[in-house]
Every structure is written in C-alpha cells, then in structure tokens.
Structure 1
Amino acid sequence: MPRLISPLVLALVGLLLFGDGAYIHAKAWLAQVLLERAFDRSVATGQAVRPWSWADTWPVARIEVKRIGASAIVLEGTSGQALAFGPGHIHQTVDAGERGVAVYAAHRDTHFRFLRNVTIGDVIDVTRSDGRRFRYRADFSAVVRFDESGIDPAAQDAELVLTTCWPFDAITSGPERYILHATLMGTGE
C-alpha cells in the first residue's frame, strides 16, 4: 500500500505546482485582455478607466516593439498588485514624451519577458492613454544593482527606461536589474 500512495502523492504535488504556475500565466494573459479594453476606452473618453471594479490601478500607456511583435499595457504605479497584472509606471518619473525619464518596470517572466529579444536600435512605440504617441529608439542596456540604477531623473531630453529583474532565466529574485534605455525620436501624432 505505501508503494502506491507515495507515487500518487508525488503526482498530486506535481499537479498542484504545475497548476500554480499555469494560473500565474493565465492571470497575466487575461489581465492584458481586460487592460486592452480599458486602455482603448481611456483613449476614446479621455478619462482613466479601471479594468475591473476593484482595481487599484488603471492603464496609462501601451508599449510596442513591432520588430518582435511585443506589446503590453502599462499601469499606473508599481505596487505588487499592479505588477501582477502588467508593467507599471514608476510614480516619481515623468510621463512618456515629457522631458525627463519615464520609467516602466515589470516582471521578467511575464510582461517584460520580451526585453531579452529587444536589441539596440529597435524602435519602441509608446501610446499614452490621452492618445498621444511617441517613438523611441533603444540606445543602450545595462545590468545594475537595484539601488544603483544610474537613471538621472533630471535628464534634459525625453527618455524611456524599461526595467526588470536580472538574469532573465533566474528562478529566484536577486539584487540585479536589467535596464533598457531609449531616447525619443519623435511623436507619432
């Protein structure tokens, strides 16, 4: 009897662990669908639209890297709840297209997984929820400690930084962050 129970217990534990991992990715996918709808309504109405009634955040931008087919809706703020559903706009930074550095952060294993495929010179399109469009060019990347980003909040140009944990294939979090820097090329208006 014990020989039969232990394989069943191991199979059940494996199934639970697989289900937990699949749940995270399914939640991220569904959230992006709801966020796309809320973002489109925000652009159409000019007002912040929450993706679901209990959300503590709302869409502020859409980022796209067309060369690799990547797109994500950016949320206001970087609380743990917001980052569970998409990239977040760090409060203390400017909006995309404004003078200074707009910083968007996300998890490396969901919404910013595509950063590993972005190369220097790639075009990054940002559409804000007010409908204004901006085009950036990725000009450098770096791996830095979380507390030593080197981002200059007083930058005189319009810049964009996309950041996530490093290394991309790590199983646990660590002190390093990947930073992709881009400079404004122009508007898409």
Structure 2
Amino acid sequence: MQAKAYFAQYLIHQAWQQTLLDNQPHKPWSWADTYPVAKLTLMKKGQYKQKDGRSLYVLSGTSGRNLAFGPTRVKGGGLDFPQGNRVIAGHNDTHFSVLNGIESGRIIKFEDANNRVRFYQVSSTHIVHETDTYVLESNLTDQLTLITCYPFNSLTPRSEFRLVVSALPLSV
C-alpha cells in the first residue's frame, strides 16, 4: 500500500504540471476518479525558500481510495476561494506521517491550481475526537487545517482521535 501511494506521486506530479499549464483538471491515470487540486510543501523551520522540501499533492475527493494516493481536500475545504478554511486530510502512516512532531512556527507553502502561492505558519496543534467536526467548518478566515489520525505508529488500525494542525497565513 505504501509503495503504491508513493509511486502514484510521480503520476500525480505529471498531472499537476499539466493543470498548471492549462488550468484544467487532469487525472493522473485514465481510470482515476481524482485529480490534483493543490500542492503543499513543508519548509524547514524559519525558511521560505527550499529546493528539496517535502512536497505533497492534494487530491480532490476525500475517500479511502483517494487517501491511499495522497492527502485530499475535504469537501467544502475552501480551496476554490482565495480565502477560507482550507481543510486537507491524509493518512498518518503515509503522506501525513510528516506531521508527527510538527511544532508551532513551521512554515507550509501552499500552491493552488491557479498558480497562487501562499505561505502559512503553524499556529497550533491539538488532538480531537473524530466526532469533533468543528475544525471542518467553512469560514471566511484564511487558514490551513491539516487533519490525520492520532496517535502515530499505533498498533490498532483505526483510531477515534485526530491530530489537527492549524496554520495562519504569513505576509511574505
């Protein structure tokens, strides 16, 4: 499963490059029911420019199938607007494993399909029960919300807790 998820990133990268060229959604493979809608890059602490940063392509449609290939936009997650609560979910044992130990102050570069780039700074992290859905609410506040299962490296396959990473925009 993990190897498939990481290899898919190559095909998703190609689809993303096409999207940036013509502003149209492109499926990474012919039978895909998803396409890349954004790109996240976790920057090293205190840096805004990083050539070898860990980039993740965000896919449309939050389903178990799509989550196997990368983080996904949560429906109503604000990616279609210049501002709003951009909510992105990912598995903690693959793509969002990079959130393990993330601290306030970390910079996240966000690129949308219209080639707009925003920098966000992690303002808080907290653990919530899966029924606490307030973090999914749409609002007009420009923020980035990343969600993954918690705890990391758990021996049980399904957790009822989520790590929520909140990040606010930076003026660069």
TM-score (norm 2): 0.89
For residue 169 of structure 1, report the CA deviation from its aligned partner: 1.1
Quick one: distance in 2 between partners of 1:99 and 1:181?
15
Return the match for 2:145 from 151, 161, 182.
161
- Flag the structure with larger Rg: 1
Return the match for 1:45 from 5, 17, 22.
22
Which amino acid in structure 2 is aligned with residue 46 of structure 1? Answer: N
- Stretches of structure 2 lacking an aligned partner (at least 5 in a row): 46-52
Aligned length: 164
- Equivalence map 1:1-189=2 (5 Å): 24-67=1-44, 69-95=53-79, 98-151=82-135, 153-171=137-155, 172-186=157-171
- Stretches of structure 1 lacking an aligned partner (at least 5 in a row): 1-23
- Gap change, CA 1:77 and 1:107, over 3 Å in 2: same
- Gap change, CA 1:35 and 1:58, over 3 Å in 2: same
Quick one: distance in 2 between partners of 1:43 and 1:99?
20
Which amino acid in structure 2 is aligned with residue 28 of structure 1? Answer: A
- Gap change, CA 1:47 and 1:100, over 3 Å in 2: same
Q: Is the 8 A contact 1:94 1:100 kept in 2?
A: yes
> What are the superposed Cα offsets for residues 43-88 of structure 1, whole Å, 9 maximum, x if unpaired?
0111101000000000000100121732110000111111110000
TM-score (norm 1): 0.81
Name the one with the larger helix percent: 1
Q: Is the 8 A contact 1:113 1:168 kept in 2?
A: yes
What percent identity do the matched residue pairs reach? Answer: 32
